[in-house]
Amino acid sequence: MSTHKDKEASSKFWKKIERAALPIAELIPGIDKAAAAVKALNEYYDEQKAERIKRYSEALLTWVEDVDFSTAKNLAEEIEYADLLQACINDSDGSKAEAYAQLTIAMKFGSLERDYRRHFILSLKQLTYDDLALLRLSYIATKADLISKQGNGILSTSEIFDRHRLGPIRSLSLNTLVQLGLTKPEGISDLGKTFVESVFPREKLLSHESFDVWQDPPLAILTGEKKDSYNDSVISHFKNLRIRCVQFPITSYSKSLNINDFKAVIFAGDYEGLTYGQHQELSNFTNHNTYKCINLGYRLSDSPSGMAFLHIDYEDCKAIKDKIRAVARKLNYVIDI
């Protein structure tokens, strides 16, 4: 399958190696002759090339198992196949062998137009595996509510592509992603999504090994005006069960809280300092929505009469995490995690 150009390039490569052999030999313990250095490097190069081809071929065969082989007979006749295999061999990032194989499958059996094919080959050559991983995470984040490592929210594009988090070197890749049209200021582009679908198998795009997914729907939790460690603790324990708590200030929740968007409303923490009218508003709210109001321990300056909550048996709950699990069980969330 080697072409004249391939052989010519290989010949030039080894002439360069021979010229560099003496200084290289001095750096490798046990090799004191230029010829030995060249031989060792030659063997290493051949081993790496063979390993790259092996991984590419194995991935190719794995992913075409469910494909109609009657259409695969012309695979080697297409120039994209030769380009991709050669690019895979020459790529300095060996981690991308499977991505090259997947792109081969996408171009042969998918519906990619020729312009897309050429652009995707170019893009795959330019990007590192870390860049591909970043695009994959961004893609999955558009399909699922991933749990952010920081705070209690959904993983956002701004967090994924945060230059400070990525560091000065990896941040440079963001410019390349934009130039290739794979991302835009608000996140991964439609072209980027198609690219990701072309270089990763479908099962790799359903979930992410480093990020869990929030259970649905979330909870609403009322928060006081002061910093409240107990309220924070309740939110944290729910997060451990992949249950998201959306915070609403207790002084203004009625203006923005749509109870139908949430599984329940949690009362937990210090709510002191409310006016009598606000107390009565709370009482009316819990009476009208008793089946969705849950008491996990709160403080009010003057408790109004008539506060009503969904009954949950806390008798065997010794710690707050036990109460959280009791609430989750009552609300039919998954808790065996």
If asked whether residues 317 and 233 sit together in one domain, one would say: yes
Identify the pLDDT of residue 18: 56
Average pLDDT over residues 326-335: 96
If asked whether residues 169 and 264 sit together in one domain, one would say: no
Kindly report, residue by residue over 284-314, the tens digit of the pLDDT: 999 999 999 999 998 887 765 678 999 999 9
Kindly report, residue by residue over 5-15, the tens digit of the pLDDT: 555 655 555 55
If asked whether residues 310 and 291 sit together in one domain, one would say: yes
If asked whether residues 229 and 324 sit together in one domain, one would say: yes
**Which CATH number covers residue 239?**
3.40.50.2300
Q: Is residue 153 part of a domain?
A: yes
End position of a domain, from candidates 124, 142, 157: 124
In 3D space, the residue among 120, 125, 243 whose CA is nearest the CA of residue 182 turns out to be 120
End position of a domain, from candidates 72, 101, 124: 124
If asked whether residues 237 and 276 sit together in one domain, one would say: yes
Identify the pLDDT of residue 57: 72
Average pLDDT over residues 196-206: 94
CB 201 within 8 A of CB 102: yes
Q: Is residue 33 part of a domain?
A: no
According to DSSP, the residues that pair with 65 across neighbouring strands are none
Q: Is residue 263 part of a domain?
A: yes
If asked whether residues 229 and 322 sit together in one domain, one would say: yes
Q: Is residue 10 part of a domain?
A: no
pLDDT over 70 at 92, yes or no: yes
If asked whether residues 286 and 240 sit together in one domain, one would say: yes
Long-range CB pairs of 65-74 (<8 Å, 24+ gap) are 67/105, 67/109, 71/108, 71/109, 72/108, 72/109
CB 81 within 8 A of CB 60: no
End position of a domain, from candidates 68, 99, 124: 124
What percentage of the chain exceeds 90 in pLDDT? 47
pLDDT over 50 at 73, yes or no: no
Q: Is residue 210 part of a domain?
A: no
CB 279 within 8 A of CB 285: no
Structural domain count, the chain: 3
Kindly report, residue by residue over 123-158, the tens digit of the pLDDT: 999 999 999 999 999 999 999 999 998 888 999 988
If asked whether residues 239 and 184 sit together in one domain, one would say: no
* Burial 55-64, CB ≥16 within 10 A → b, else e: bbeebbeebb
Identify the pLDDT of residue 2: 46
Identify the pLDDT of residue 72: 47
pTM of the model: 0.77
What's the CA gap between 38 and 95, in Å, rounded?
Answer: 26
pLDDT over 60 at 121, yes or no: yes
pLDDT over 50 at 78, yes or no: yes
If asked whether residues 225 and 324 sit together in one domain, one would say: yes
Kindly report, residue by residue over 265-283, the tens digit of the pLDDT: 999 999 888 888 888 899 9
pLDDT over 90 at 243, yes or no: yes
Kindly report, residue by residue over 184-193, the tens digit of the pLDDT: 988 999 999 9
If asked whether residues 185 and 256 sit together in one domain, one would say: no
If asked whether residues 153 and 168 sit together in one domain, one would say: yes
According to DSSP, the residues that pair with 154 across neighbouring strands are 147
Q: Is residue 288 part of a domain?
A: yes
- At residue 159, the 3 state secondary structure works out as helix
99: domain range?
Answer: 46-124
What's the CA gap between 103 and 75, in Å, rounded?
Answer: 13
What is the separation, in whole angstroms, between the first and last Cα of the chain? Answer: 52
Q: Is residue 264 part of a domain?
A: yes
If asked whether residues 224 and 281 sit together in one domain, one would say: yes
Q: Is residue 35 part of a domain?
A: no
Q: Name the residue with higher pLDDT: 112 or 256.
A: 256
pLDDT over 80 at 228, yes or no: yes
